[in-house]
Amino acid sequence: YERYDHTAVEKKWQNRWEQAGVFHAAQSMDKPKFYALIEFPYPSGQGLHVGHPRPYTALDIVARKRRLQGYNVLYPIGWDAFGLPTENYAIKNHIHPAIVTKKNVERFKQQIQSLGISFDWSREINTTDPAYYKWTQWIFLQLFKHGLAYKKEMSVNWCTSCKCVLANEEVVDGVCERCGSEVVHKVKSQWMLKITEYAQRLIDDLDLVDYPERVKAQQKNWIGRSTGAEVDFGTTVGDQLTVFTTRPDTLYGVTYMVMSPEHPLIEKWSGQIQNLDEVHAYQQEAAKKSEFERTELAKEKTGVRLKGVCAVNPVGGKEIPIFISDYVLVSYGTGAIMAVPGHDSRDWEFAKKFDLPIIEVVQGGNVEEQAFTDCATGTMVNSGILNGLSVEEAKVRIKEYMQEKGFGREKVNYKLRDWVFSRQRYWGEPIPIVQCEKCGYVALPESELPLRLPEVESYEPTDNGESPLAHMTEWVNTACPCCGGPAKRETDTMPQWAGSSWYFLRYIDPHNTEALADRGAMDYWLPVDWYNGGMEHTTLHLLYSRFWHKFLYDIGVVPTAEPYAKRTSHGMILGENGEKMSKSRGNVVNPDDVVREFGADTLRLYEMFIGDFEKAAPWSTTSVKGCRRFVERYWNLQNLLIDGAGIRPEMESVFHKTIKKVGEDVENLKFNTAIAALMALMNEISGNGSITRDELKVFTLLLNPFAPHVTEEVWAEQDFEGMVCQQAWPVYDEAKCVDALVEVVVQVNGKVRARVSVPADTSKEGLLELAKDQEKIQAEISGKTIVKEISVPGKLVNIVVR
Ligand code: ANZ
Ligand code: ZN
């Protein structure tokens, strides 16, 4: 066989597959189904990156194998195309973001198609398509109607450069995740989604799904469930000051209180506070800081005492000072704390700085030196009714007591906040709400969906932080759907996370005009059987989409409580130097170049062979060439063909073992060892110098999910029937998977004392262990000192004793 021409072969098979529609999921629902999902790409201007094909290829291998095993497979793709990078590019170059998106999608599509991924292109979706976002808007309206979407004046993260509100998740280390600019706080009226209402179920239902433990742990952490109590402190001005604490057992150790600078009671007490100027100045300083800066542990504590107002401890009745300090956040718990400097580090630092008393209430540390926080096993002291109890007992006792006296109650809190769902930008889904002077916020009738994005002159956000849509007066001014009176459309758009929160539902029935998807089809296809995506999406997209899905489940739209039965995560592909690939580092590998030079099959094999799928791995051009040689060796197997059918007896064991291993490895994300097994089989065949047609068929079927083009070509060259992708996955016989046995002699001091039959691939250590287990050998060596052990797999063991 002549040189393998990957360019012609790959193009040819990609066209044939598409013409034959072999990767279209079947409409009929009689076969078992397999729904494989990858995170759909954001079609950026940079085009495909070599990181993209890693998850696509991995699930493609699973999908292709499952098709061969008789499953009806749904493996779809689409475009998550709303969002800032496109909008920013559009602003800079004065091109409509829709045009930019179209161009980027075309490029991405052509690149992905060159990889031979078995996506069902007939179900391609695009979040910016009005026929798609009609249903994104529809879901928003359902949330609104169920009281889960609401508008709220709130302090939001404001990126000074993007001129845009950011969700907490989009602020990383105090700067904008996208542009790296400073993030400040600004009060704005925002659309919010009540994800907090689902906090407990989002934790509980992790028990129903097969996610990696690290993913479950990150989600739980993010939701941040905390159990404790709310305690009402009296004040000298009449109002109650309520705090949330996880340590109600330390109530007798409270020596002062701290309120967040934004706490509403401060305004209320302005008549009584004697140092109001100082308080206002502090509030202004705090507003400038990000939440990250405020809660940084290492930061020097600051604060101002509220002169003229004191709190009263509900146990003991002692008056204690109240401070405001930025280490207490307005948005968590009640926005105020009881300070226990003896047992909380932040309180301890604050107390030292402001010279406040420190009381030890759990014995075992030295609270003058540092806060004794790790005190779960200590005994209560200086604590009235709690004295002598353990911390655990004290928690129970004080909760009973406060319930009895009516100054407190048990309380569970979550770190999770409601989802800020407004963006003051153009390139997003319009929020289908109008504001009427008489009726307030009114939902658009569903018959008016989709509410299309109007054409605007300029996509720049305005300096006062309004969306560019706010300039479109004829669009903004409308009639109230409720009373017909004058009303204004909402000009904020949805955040980028909206479209991706339900896209896996649309793939099931992408052209439906009556519903987001047909219920019968959802009953069949849901849940997604296997969803692979990046670890960076664990707390955002994965949580958001679980929330939307649960809501849709509650209102009877979808049949399952969870969207994804199984989740896996791939590692990143790094540059040849082991650093993250980036233009500035000059280490970017373009997948197009690899496909052109070596072929898509080689790129696919390489990306799977590069290392443990779940770990990051550096690129290596040498190894790419190794994979190309493997493809050529496979192609050249055709030179070794001999007459005769079936798998020859001497090849039986290795073939059956390989069928078993490749199948199991693919299901366990061990693509690299599956390929290694195929390489080993190849060596075995080469060593043999010949291959039967049936052996070639089995090898081809096993290799097909990894290298789909060259395998189709060999199949066709050999006039085998049909296409490989329409055959059946080979089955192995467990009985034939056992290794051939070999006889090994066991010597003691050079004399043969036993012979044992062991599997041919028994390791050095395994062999030695087996040898020592022999009765005859035990008799020879017991009571003696072993001075040397020699073990030669497949041959002999020699134990030297004295
Ligand atoms: C008294 C106390 C004593 C506390 C002690 C801790 C240790 P998590 O686990 O994060 O829920 N806290 C409550 N609300 C706060 C707010 N808005 N900003 C900053 N801190 C706040 O922690 C709850 C604990 O964090 C609460 O329990 C409270 O301090 C503080 F030995 O109350 B603790
Ligand atoms: Zn009205």
What is the phi-psi region of residue 63: left when phi exceeds 0, alpha when psi lies from -120 to 50, beta otherwise?
alpha
**Whether the predicted model's global pTM rises above the 0.95 cut:** no
Q: Minimum-distance ligand to the CA of 415?
A: 1
Ligand 1 touching residue 329 (CB < 6 A): yes
Kindly give the distance from the C-alpha atom of residue 495 to the centroid of ligand 2, in angstroms, as a whole number: 27
529-581: per-residue pLDDT in tens? 999 999 999 999 999 999 999 999 999 999 999 999 999 999 999 999 999 99
User: Which residue positions in the chain have pLDDT lower than 50?
Assistant: none
Would the annotation count 583 as a binding residue?
yes
Q: Which residue owns the Cα nearest ligand 1 atom 5?
A: 344
d(CA 431, CA 490): 6
The radius of gyration of the chain's CA atoms, rounded to the nearest angstrom, is 33
Report the pLDDT value the prediction gives residue 162, as an integer from 0 to 100. Answer: 79
Ligand 2 ion: nearby residues, β-carbon < 5 Å = 436, 438-439, 480, 482-483, 485
**Residue among 131, 140, 128 nearest 441 (CA):** 140
Tokens of 686: 């080469």
Domains, the chain, in order of start with CATH, read 23-219+495-570 (3.40.50.620), 225-414 (3.90.740.10), 591-600+612-736 (1.10.730.10), 739-801 (3.10.20.590)
Ligand 1 touching residue 104 (CB < 6 A): no
Ligand 1 touching residue 325 (CB < 6 A): no
Q: Is the peptide bond before 527 cis (omega within 30 degrees of 0)?
A: yes
Kindly give the distance from the C-alpha atom of residue 490 to the centroid of ligand 2, in angstroms, as a whole number: 14
d(CA 166, CA 495): 9
Angle at 17 between CA 13 and CA 22, to 5 degrees: 150
Q: Minimum-distance ligand to the CA of 376?
A: 1
228-275: per-residue pLDDT in tens? 999 999 999 999 999 999 999 999 999 999 999 999 999 999 999 999
Report the pLDDT value the prediction gives residue 163, as an integer from 0 to 100. Answer: 79
What is the length of the chain? 802
Ligand 1 touching residue 430 (CB < 6 A): no
Question: Measured from the CA of 331, which atom of ligand 1 is nearest?
Answer: 17
Strands 225-235 and 408-414: antiparallel
Angle at 193 between CA 191 and CA 195, to 5 degrees: 160
Report the pLDDT value the prediction gives residue 344, as an integer from 0 to 100. Answer: 96
Q: Which residue out of 221, 227, 245 has the highest number of ligand 1 atoms within 8 Å of its CB and is therefore the one to mutate?
A: 245
**Residue among 684, 668, 662 nearest 761 (CA):** 684
Q: Which residue owns the Cα nearest ligand 1 atom 9?
A: 226
CB crowding 654-688: b at 16 or more within 10 Å, else e: bbbbbbbbbbebbeebbbbebbebbbebbeebeee
Tokens of 221: 């952490």
Report the pLDDT value the prediction gives residue 547, as an integer from 0 to 100. Answer: 98
Ligand 1 touching residue 338 (CB < 6 A): yes
ipTM of the complex: 0.96
Question: Measured from the CA of 254, which atom of ligand 1 is nearest?
Answer: 1
Structural contact between residues 428 and 498, judged by C-beta atoms closer than 8 angstroms: yes
Report the pLDDT value the prediction gives residue 467, as an integer from 0 to 100. Answer: 84
Report the pLDDT value the prediction gives residue 297, as an integer from 0 to 100. Answer: 66
Report the pLDDT value the prediction gives residue 1, as an integer from 0 to 100. Answer: 65
* Distant-in-sequence, close-in-space partners of 36: CB < 8 Å, separation ≥ 6: 59, 62, 63, 66, 73, 74, 75, 528, 529, 530
Q: Which residue owns the Cα nearest ligand 1 atom 31?
A: 343
